[in-house]
Structure 1
Amino acid sequence: MKKIDWVRKLTSRKLWTAVASFVSMMIVATGGAENTATQVTALIMAGASVVAYIIGEGLTDSANIGLEEGEVTEE
């Protein structure tokens, strides 16, 4: 069985766009207002940005742990 790369999945913009689209369509399909669906979509995408930033910073920090003080990596 193939191991799932959760970091890559959780930082994927495609995943979060699909989740936001699904949730907003479910709101509209169940009789919710389009304004509510738009607000929920915006909240999901804002949350996704925060998740991606936190994971990205964590990966950067963990890559720099082994470096000596004052040494910089080239990215």
Structure 2
Amino acid sequence: MIKINWTRKLTSRKFWLSVASFVSMLIIALGGNENMATQVTALIMAGATVIGYVIGEGLADANGSL
């Protein structure tokens, strides 16, 4: 079984863009409007930025970087 590198996955912009795209298309498909889809996508990408920063800083701290 292949082990997933979650640190790399969660810091990937492509991964978060795919998640945001899927969720926004799902909102539209289920009858939501474009404004709602845009707001949800923005929230996902903002959250992804925070997650990427926190993981990156944690890795830097673990490696003894300043």
TM-score where L is the length of structure 1: 0.83
Corresponding residue SS for 1:53: helix
Q: Which structure exhibits the higher relative contact order, with contacts defined as CA atoms closer than 8 Å and separated by 6 or more residues?
A: 2
Structure number with higher helix proportion: 2
Partner Cα distance (1:7, 1:53) in 2? 11
Larger Rg: 1
Count of residues in Structure 1 that have an aligned counterpart in Structure 2: 66
Aligned letter for 2:22?
Answer: F
Query: Percent same amino acid at aligned positions?
Result: 68
Structure 2 portions without partners, runs of 5+: none
TM, length-normalised to structure 2: 0.94
Computed over aligned residues only, the root mean square deviation of the Cα atoms, in angstroms, reads: 1.3
Q: Gaps (5+ residues) in structure 1?
A: 65-71
